Structure 1
Amino acid sequence: MLDFTSALYLGLHHPSRRLRPWEEFTMGRPAALAVPSDQERIARTLAELAGCERATLGSSTLHLFWDLFGMLSEGAAIYLDAGTYPIARWGVERAACRGLPVQVIAHYDADALSRVLKRSTQKRLRPVVVADGFCPGCGKPAPIDAYLNIIHERDGLLVLDDTQALGIFGHSQNAEMPLGHGGGGSLRLHNVSSPRVLLISSLAKAFGAPIAALCGSHAMVQAFEARSETRTHCSPPSIAAIHAAEHALMINRKHGDALRLRLAQLVSLVRTGLMKAGFSTQGGYFPVQTLRPLPSLDAPALHDSLLKSGVRTVLHQARNGHVAQVSFFITAQHAPHEIVRAVKAVRCTSAVQQLKRL
């Protein structure tokens, strides 16, 4: 069975024999009292990688978003991008329950945000814009520069879920390195450095480590740590997870660019093969490649036919929730011959579908 459902994009796995050993799995104390000795070092490495002054670690992005939106004061108003991933939305819902105004903005539409802010009757409230750093659904990065320009005069804050971009995109993109260098994520991709940006990212995708990070300015991260509720009431990330993150960052430093180049080449092979078969995909060089809807394409039937042919893909709803789509999740562990086999299966099953309609 060929599996195109894993989001471990760089193909990183962290078997215990490859990690530094640990004497205890957890310390039995909340993070507010003590954190594992290696946590601060890993956080500093992540902050530097992402292009931020400081970082702090959490067990998951849910912990971090829950805390962040529970800390926002009554002097803030939230502007939520319509395509934002559900976990960030759950944090926004907490803020809404506490009485903060929330308005949904069209996906990656900076002009729409500008118009809404100009018409707003709550001009004294600090705008907090929430979005994904990169959207696999439409295959586009967030318009970070435009968002920052819009919120600058009102002392706004841009909160990005950068889970998809971290480990994949980096600085200095070019034809030879379509994903760029370093894998630092959205700020590195856009060459942006701003104290008005907070990044919350899981390392469980490209880096394959079950841990999350909040990155931003010294002041914002320090304030977060001082007021965090989950740091008071929950344990810090396990020592095993911290060692997995350490292992991932070591591999990224030594081999990350080579893995990203291989990944980009595999994605290009998928795109070219599907295009020759009469399909187009969305996603650019991102490792999630989604077949664009066609009048003749029955996505559920295609997904089932591919499964019977030994190719596992992801069947999901489009961002608008009205159309079913089929996506291939490519990892650096896939081999070119597996890509060729998958494309051939798409071509054969789609041909069968068309014959049935005749």
Structure 2
Amino acid sequence: MIDFASALYLGMRHPARALGAWDALTTGLPAALAAAPLARRVAADAASLQGTEAGMVGASTLHLAIDAFDRLGRTHALYADDALYPVMRWALERMMGRGVPVTWFRHGDAGDLARRLARRVAARPPAVITDATVGEGVPAPIERYVDAVWREGGLVLVDHSQVLGLTGERASPRSPWGQGGGGALRHAALPSPAMQPVLLLASWAKAFGAPLATLCGPAALINDIARDGPAQSHCSPASAVSLLAALDALAINRRAGARLRLRLLHRLYRLHDGLRALARSAVPDLHLSGRWHPLQRLTLATDQRALALHAGLSACGLRTALLRQRGGGYALIVIARADHRVTDIDALIDAIASLAPRLPDAGRAAPRITVFKETEHV
């Protein structure tokens, strides 16, 4: 079966033979008591890649979000994008359950954030919590968020799981993702990125294919979170094999990352162009997300048509993901990867074209057009 549901964007898989040996999967110690040497190495390399002073490693984004919000909830006033990814929202709900207020601003709306900041009465500096992308997968206005908070000693925390490994510095029309794969802060091209009041939280299980997460930012703040974070004190750290996979991902990124990203862009453009052609002809009610991100979300006029297309593609040997959207209804998720062949992309487009005449009648229902939000990611 050809897989269009996996989010291993760059095709990194880290087989056992590539990782070497390890003495034990875990140390039996919480990270706050004794971080493993491999973890310190991954943290330092992650910080260097992303343009920050320091980094730390956790078993997942949820673990690190709990640690970060526990610290920020004691010292900052929290402002969060109202379409924040669910894992981040879960960690914020923990703080709200402990009586810490959270102010929500409209998705990707720097103006709405500025208005809410202007009305605040709290003496604490603001901490803005956002995903890396807004709208149809375009970058969030991180530089505007930073401008809104830095004079008051605030900071911005960005979940950039969806762009780490893809975007980087020196973006241009010919290279929209930029170079290096360092993610949101590099891509935003802020001056002196290592000195910016930004925390970068990211899962490495997307482009880098490693089952762990990192939190990177100013050294003093990272050290505080690493020392006092609840998950750092009470949960197991990332396993040795996960850390070795992260180091393997960094090595692959150094020697072949540019080639993999270019290959992925070519596959994404072929997929998006093929889907747009279908929307102009065989499937006129097809609506797809922007060309910027490898995860494409397809909506049709009715749920019956989306369900039938998903089932039909599966019968043709093509795996896609069916997603219940936050606002109701279903969407079909199709993900381009660097390890897809051109023939894989063409097989998907041809299969949709062949299934189109057999889909349930669209009737008079209008297409459900909802913006691409990270809350709706698989």
Tell me the CA shift for residue 26 of structure 1.
1.3
Tell me the CA shift for residue 174 of structure 1.
2.6
Aligned mates of 1:283, 1:86 — CA distance in 2: 22
Tell me the CA shift for residue 152 of structure 1.
2.3
2:118 partner letter: K
Tell me the CA shift for residue 195 of structure 1.
3.3
CA contact (8 A) 1:57 1:211 kept: yes
Unpaired segments of 5 or more residues in structure 1?
none
Residue equivalent to 1:212: 213
Q: What percent identity do the matched residue pairs reach?
A: 38
Tell me the CA shift for residue 176 of structure 1.
3.5
CA separation of 1:180 and 1:292: change in aligned 2, threshold 3 A: farther
The farther-off stretch of 41-50 and 191-200 is 191-200
- Residue 313 of structure 1 pairs with residue 320 of structure 2: yes
1:230 partner letter: A
Tell me the CA shift for residue 292 of structure 1.
4.8
Residue equivalent to 1:141: 139
Aligned mates of 1:216, 1:225 — CA distance in 2: 12
CA contact (8 A) 1:76 1:100 kept: no
Aligned mates of 1:209, 1:164 — CA distance in 2: 13
Per-residue CA deviations over 1:73-131 (Å, capped at 9, x if unaligned) read: 445322111221111111111211222111221110111111122223x2423222111
Aligned mates of 1:64, 1:83 — CA distance in 2: 19
Unpaired segments of 5 or more residues in structure 2?
280-285, 365-378
Residue equivalent to 1:174: 172
Aligned mates of 1:226, 1:210 — CA distance in 2: 22
Per-residue CA deviations over 1:13-36 (Å, capped at 9, x if unaligned) read: 111111121112111122122222
Aligned mates of 1:346, 1:265 — CA distance in 2: 20
1:348 partner letter: S
Q: List aligned pairs for 1:31-110, cutoff 5 A.
A: 31-110=31-110
CA contact (8 A) 2:299 2:306 kept: no
**Among residues 348, 353, 358, which one is paired with 2:359 in the alignment?**
353
Aligned mates of 1:210, 1:75 — CA distance in 2: 30
CA contact (8 A) 1:68 1:91 kept: no
Residue equivalent to 1:286: 293
CA separation of 1:357 and 1:69: change in aligned 2, threshold 3 A: closer
CA contact (8 A) 2:54 2:219 kept: yes
Tell me the CA shift for residue 67 of structure 1.
1.2
Aligned mates of 1:216, 1:75 — CA distance in 2: 16
Moved over 6 A (4+): none
Residue equivalent to 2:261: 260
Aligned mates of 1:291, 1:285 — CA distance in 2: 14
Q: List aligned pairs for 1:3-18, cutoff 5 A.
A: 3-18=3-18
Structure 2 length as normaliser, TM-score? Answer: 0.88
Question: Alignment partner of 2:208: what SS?
Answer: coil
Tell me the CA shift for residue 308 of structure 1.
2.1
Residue equivalent to 1:160: 158
CA contact (8 A) 2:138 2:292 kept: no
Tell me the CA shift for residue 340 of structure 1.
0.5
Aligned mates of 1:275, 1:257 — CA distance in 2: 27
**Among residues 308, 327, 333, which one is paired with 2:333 in the alignment?**
327
Structure 1 length as normaliser, TM-score? Answer: 0.93
Residue equivalent to 2:370: none
Question: Alignment partner of 2:37: what SS?
Answer: coil
Per-residue CA deviations over 1:202-244 (Å, capped at 9, x if unaligned) read: 1111101111100001111111112122222223211111111
CA separation of 1:301 and 1:151: change in aligned 2, threshold 3 A: same
Residue equivalent to 2:245: 244
Question: Alignment partner of 2:177: what SS?
Answer: coil
Aligned mates of 1:305, 1:162 — CA distance in 2: 33
Tell me the CA shift for residue 296 of structure 1.
10
Aligned mates of 1:67, 1:138 — CA distance in 2: 30
Tell me the CA shift for residue 326 of structure 1.
1.2
Q: Supply the RMSD in Å over aligned alpha carbons.
A: 2.1
CA contact (8 A) 1:178 1:264 kept: no
1:125 partner letter: R
